[in-house]
Homo-oligomer: A and B are copies of this chain.
Amino acid sequence: MRTYLAMLFCVLSIHVVAQTKPQNFIQYVNPFVGTKNMGHTFPGATVPFGMVQLSPETDTVQYEFNGKYNSTVYRYCSGYQYDDKTIVGFSHTHFSGTGHSDLGDFLIMPTVGKLQLNPGTSENPESGYRSRFSHTNEIAEPAYYKVHLDDYNITTELTATTRTGFHQYTFPQSDTSHIILDMISGIYNYNEKNVWTFVRVENDTLITGYRQTNGWARTRTLYFAMVFSKPFYQYGHKKYDQNIYKGFWRKFDESQNFPEMAGKNIRAYFDFKTTEGEKIKIKFALSPVSTEGALKNLAAEIPHWDFDKTKSESQEQWNDELGKIVIETNTLKEKETFYTALYHTFLSPVVYMDVNGAYRGLDQNNHFANGFTNYTIFSLWDTYRALHPLYNIIQPKRNSDMVTSMLEHYNQSVHKMLPVWSHYANENWCMIGYHSVPVIVDAFIKGNIKNTDPQALLRACVNTAENNYYDGLNFYMQLEYVPEDKNSSSVSKTLEYAYDDWCIAQMAKHLGNQKVYDKFITRSQNFIHVYDSSTGFMRPKLSDGTWKPDFNTLSTHGQGFIEGNAWNYSLYVPHQPGQLIQMMGGKEKFTQHLDSLFSMQIDDKHFAETEDITRDGIIGNYIHGNEPGHHIPYLYNWTGQPWKTQERVRMIMETMYSNTPDGLCGNDDAGQMSAWYIFSALGFYPVCPGSDQYAIGSPMVKSAVINLENGKQLVIETKNQKPGNVYVNKVVINGNQLKNNLLLHSDLIKGCHIVFYLESKPRD
């Protein structure tokens, strides 16, 4: 009978979609969301998971290095701040929503009049090549960005394919039109970040070259090929290097019309005479391996000069990807917030290989991706929580390839470690844990390992977890916890290692490897060693087994935690919430902890420690902008008070996400913040990736149809969706009422119909 009903619902849901006429989803995306204050997103043009993310820089802070980075650059992680009044130029690579940065490669700026090769300052734009602009003359859509550069009367339009940026500049009449290629400009730029740059003017329309940097990525090289739609009539460059050995290059005047440029700090220009309204276009392709590769990418991806055609095709790609979830909502704001969040979840990881599969490996050798698409930008401490689990529903093929990319990273790693925070053939070691593991295990448990040997993946997980010089792991393996006197953020590390270890155990169990299972299921219990029952908190322990004195449960820094204090991190045992609740004194006491967390006030001193967050980004002491809390609102499901989860998640969605430039309460964190929103808006959340379960929340949507890659549909419907009706009376899946508050991935992925019955009061 149940089967019959399920079939019936599937048929119904297919009907629903079949009746839906082609929709325009990109109209609901506002790429400016998160560009104001701490969101660290960018408004520029990119295709889903595209390597080229061509976007304006409103400032590029270049600071003198003194052993520490300059904190003023933090605002410019994505190169763009909505409140700024000037644009410096348009560069080709960006992180989306990160809390640290890099990239900003190959800045292009069109100007007219007197040639100025320095960017100038925002206070005095005339001092350099930057231009004033205003938002009234600015448009941002998926795969399209347009702005008028007021100082030059130049209209800029940008679009992109996976590896190629397409610029279209509409010039005024001028005999002194310039296009500047600034090889110095970059994000998180310090005075010696450029290790080397190399530029060749192959002919009067084609430029090739590369930029090698020592930044967040220690050893990074990116190659390009740039072609103009019109020949320049002269060109040149200026080198800003002090200590460059000239040798016999001194026999040339390299500064003008000399086709080979090399050095650490170079800015080049190309001069044109333009008629009124004349368009000069640039196709700018990237490659991880060579200028030859960039040329191949350019030829393969944009073999014409039709800007509108590329824009249209790239926007079609977005429409296809966004259309994987078709929602209805009560308000346009909700719809825009949702689709913008979905957009943000498709901005990274990015494709990192040439059209022929060539990419640069972690060993700095060139490799070929055989049978998979290679990806980079793995901000795993953030994204293992909800972004990759989301991919396991709506991007399983890509997620499988991301897992393969991680295994290749492991194979190329001299440390024999899976990625921690990796980008562009580099590991930057940002944040803690070894959270490739939950990504891999979650994909494995959910059947999304398509082209990789699971045994090889398990070995990679185990070797990563047994590295004896990584971040306190040696102590963790000896003492069963990380001692704070030996390694800072020790409680966070212990808790996250224990969770990751649980994931390894799950995979080992499925693969029948009892030895690994036993070892890691034991390690997964290590969270108990940092729980101090006398205070009721997870607490830093010293190597002699005593608790760290002067314990402050509100502080983060120096208290054994990172991006979350004891109040939050004490709730981090995603794999054993029941055991955690028992350990912390049972459901009632645990509920009190949760209630207090959301209702207490924290003072400015402790707020200041939260990082990345505006005051809007916290509820009491719950800090939504910092990932360690993302599962917390869902924990009421285990205390018998799920309505508090429903209440909180609706409040968070309502107050911390919006469709405006300030619509993110903190860094989007490479899509994790947005992925939290997508899940929550649909009514469930992966509290413990690596398990098959999702905890029920309270959906924001009126309805959602998720078009799965297997051709099935997951249909979510709400009854009585209106303001105030945040409580879930019951959930009916394929006609059967859900008995607990958990959904199973295996059910969802078969295609099913879930109905949430909402009302204005808790059901209990």
Indicate whether A240 reaches chain B with its CB closer than 8 angstroms: no
6 examples of A-B residue contacts, CB within 8 angstroms: A65-B245, A196-B196, A208-B363, A248-B428, A248-B430, A290-B364
Max chain B CB contacts within 10 Å: which of A100, A190, A198, A414? Answer: A414
Known: A414-B201, A429-B249, A469-B257. A262 touches B218 (CB 8 A): yes
Which residues of chain B come closer than 8 Å to A190, judged between CB atoms?
243, 245
Indicate whether A233 reaches chain B with its CB closer than 8 angstroms: no
Binary B-proximity of A185-210 (CB < 8 A = 1, otherwise 0): 00000111101101011100000101
Indicate whether A366 reaches chain B with its CB closer than 8 angstroms: yes
Which residues of chain B come closer than 8 Å to A431, judged between CB atoms?
248
Q: Decide if B192 touches A195 in the complex (CB within 8 Å).
A: no
Q: Report the Cα distance A214→B263, complex, angstroms.
A: 8
Indicate whether A3 reaches chain B with its CB closer than 8 angstroms: no
Q: How far is the CB of A133 from chain B (nearest CB, A)?
A: 31
Known: A259-B414, A414-B201, A429-B251. A196 touches B219 (CB 8 A): yes
Q: Report the Cα distance A212→B471, complex, angstroms.
A: 30
Q: Decide if A200 touches B247 in the complex (CB within 8 Å).
A: no
Q: What residue of chain B has the Cβ atom nearest to residue A257's Cβ?
A: B469
Which residues of chain B come closer than 8 Å to A253, judged between CB atoms?
469
Indicate whether A69 reaches chain B with its CB closer than 8 angstroms: yes
Q: Report the Cα distance A214→B202, complex, angstroms.
A: 22
Q: How far is the CB of A229 from chain B (nearest CB, A)?
A: 21
Q: Report the Cα distance A520→B24, complex, angstroms.
A: 67
Please tell me which one of the listed residues B202, B215, B471 contacts residue A245 in the complex, with CB atoms under 8 A apart: B215
Which residues of chain B come closer than 8 Å to A469, judged between CB atoms?
252-253, 257-258
Q: Decide if B414 touches A260 in the complex (CB within 8 Å).
A: yes
Q: How far is the CB of A561 from chain B (nearest CB, A)?
A: 16
Max chain B CB contacts within 10 Å: which of A195, A210, A218, A219? Answer: A218
Q: Report the Cα distance A471→B249, complex, angstroms.
A: 10
The complex is assembled from copies of this chain, and their number is 2
Q: Report the Cα distance A202→B413, complex, angstroms.
A: 9
Max chain B CB contacts within 10 Å: which of A192, A193, A291, A431? Answer: A192
Q: Decide if B366 touches A414 in the complex (CB within 8 Å).
A: no
| Contact-residue bracket for chain A | 35 or more
Q: Which of A59-89 contact B (CB under 8 A)?
A: 65, 69
Q: Decide if B196 touches A214 in the complex (CB within 8 Å).
A: yes
Please tell me which one of the listed residues B195, B244, B247 contacts residue A216 in the complex, with CB atoms under 8 A apart: B247
Q: Decide if A219 touches B198 in the complex (CB within 8 Å).
A: yes
Q: Decide if B429 touches A290 in the complex (CB within 8 Å).
A: no
Q: Which of A486-513 contact B (CB under 8 A)?
A: none
Which residues of chain B come closer than 8 Å to A195, judged between CB atoms?
195-196, 212, 264
Q: How far is the CB of A41 from chain B (nearest CB, A)?
A: 22
Indicate whether A230 reaches chain B with its CB closer than 8 angstroms: no
Which residues of chain B come closer than 8 Å to A201, judged between CB atoms?
414
Which residues of chain B come closer than 8 Å to A262, judged between CB atoms?
218-219
Indicate whether A365 reaches chain B with its CB closer than 8 angstroms: yes
Q: Which of A209-242 contact B (CB under 8 A)?
A: 210, 212, 214-216, 218-219
Indicate whether A292 reaches chain B with its CB closer than 8 angstroms: yes
Binary B-proximity of A168-190 (CB < 8 A = 1, otherwise 0): 00000000000000000000001
Known: A196-B212, A219-B198, A429-B251. A415 touches B69 (CB 8 A): no
Q: Report the Cα distance A260→B428, complex, angstroms.
A: 12
Q: Decide if B429 touches A243 in the complex (CB within 8 Å).
A: no
Q: How far is the CB of A723 from chain B (nearest CB, A)?
A: 44
Q: Decide if B414 touches A218 in the complex (CB within 8 Å).
A: no
Which residues of chain B come closer than 8 Å to A291, judged between CB atoms?
363-365
**Given A196-B214, A260-B415, list of 15 further CB < 8 A pairs?**
A65-B243, A65-B245, A190-B243, A192-B243, A195-B195, A200-B414, A202-B414, A208-B363, A214-B244, A214-B245, A247-B429, A248-B421, A259-B415, A290-B366, A292-B365
Binary B-proximity of A634-669 (CB < 8 A = 1, otherwise 0): 000000000000000000000000000000000000
Which residues of chain B come closer than 8 Å to A198, judged between CB atoms?
219, 364
Q: What residue of chain B has the Cβ atom nearest to residue A260's Cβ?
A: B414
Q: Which of A364-412 contact B (CB under 8 A)?
A: 364-366
Which residues of chain B come closer than 8 Å to A196, judged between CB atoms?
195-196, 212, 214, 219
Which residues of chain B come closer than 8 Å to A245, judged between CB atoms?
65, 69, 190, 193, 214-216, 218
Q: What residue of chain B has the Cβ atom nearest to residue A292's Cβ?
A: B365
Q: Decide if B247 touches A218 in the complex (CB within 8 Å).
A: yes
Max chain B CB contacts within 10 Å: which of A245, A264, A415? Answer: A245
Q: Which of A423-454 contact B (CB under 8 A)?
A: 428-431
Q: How far is the CB of A63 from chain B (nearest CB, A)?
A: 11
Q: Report the Cα distance A100→B247, complex, angstroms.
A: 10
Q: How far is the CB of A489 from chain B (nearest CB, A)?
A: 10
For the complex of A and B, 7 pairs with smallest distance between CB atoms: A248-B429, A200-B414, A65-B243, A192-B243, A292-B365, A259-B414, A290-B365
Binary B-proximity of A602-621 (CB < 8 A = 1, otherwise 0): 00000000000000000000
Q: How far is the CB of A128 from chain B (nearest CB, A)?
A: 24
Q: Report the Cα distance A218→B195, complex, angstroms.
A: 13
Q: Report the Cα distance A249→B191, complex, angstroms.
A: 19
Q: What residue of chain B has the Cβ atom nearest to residue A367's Cβ?
A: B292
Which residues of chain B come closer than 8 Å to A244, judged between CB atoms?
192, 214
Q: Report the Cα distance A296→B464, complex, angstroms.
A: 28
Which residues of chain B come closer than 8 Å to A363, judged between CB atoms?
200, 208, 291-292
Q: What residue of chain B has the Cβ atom nearest to residue A253's Cβ?
A: B469
Q: Report the Cα distance A69→B250, complex, angstroms.
A: 13
Q: How far is the CB of A26 from chain B (nearest CB, A)?
A: 36
Q: How far is the CB of A523 from chain B (nearest CB, A)?
A: 21
Q: Which of A662-692 contact B (CB under 8 A)?
A: none
Q: Report the Cα distance A218→B264, complex, angstroms.
A: 11
Q: What residue of chain B has the Cβ atom nearest to residue A221's Cβ?
A: B196
Q: What residue of chain B has the Cβ atom nearest to residue A246's Cβ?
A: B67
Which residues of chain B come closer than 8 Å to A212, judged between CB atoms?
195-196
Q: How far is the CB of A508 from chain B (nearest CB, A)?
A: 26
Which residues of chain B come closer than 8 Å to A366, judged between CB atoms?
290, 366
Q: How far is the CB of A102 from chain B (nearest CB, A)?
A: 9
Max chain B CB contacts within 10 Å: which of A200, A252, A364, A366? Answer: A364
Q: Decide if B365 touches A247 in the complex (CB within 8 Å).
A: no
Q: Report the Cα distance A210→B365, complex, angstroms.
A: 11
Which residues of chain B come closer than 8 Å to A257, judged between CB atoms?
469
Q: Report the Cα distance A632→B100, complex, angstroms.
A: 68
Which residues of chain B come closer than 8 Å to A208, judged between CB atoms?
363
Known: A200-B363, A363-B291, A364-B198. A471 touches B218 (CB 8 A): no
Q: What residue of chain B has the Cβ atom nearest to residue A295's Cβ?
A: B365
Max chain B CB contacts within 10 Å: which of A200, A202, A249, A431? Answer: A200
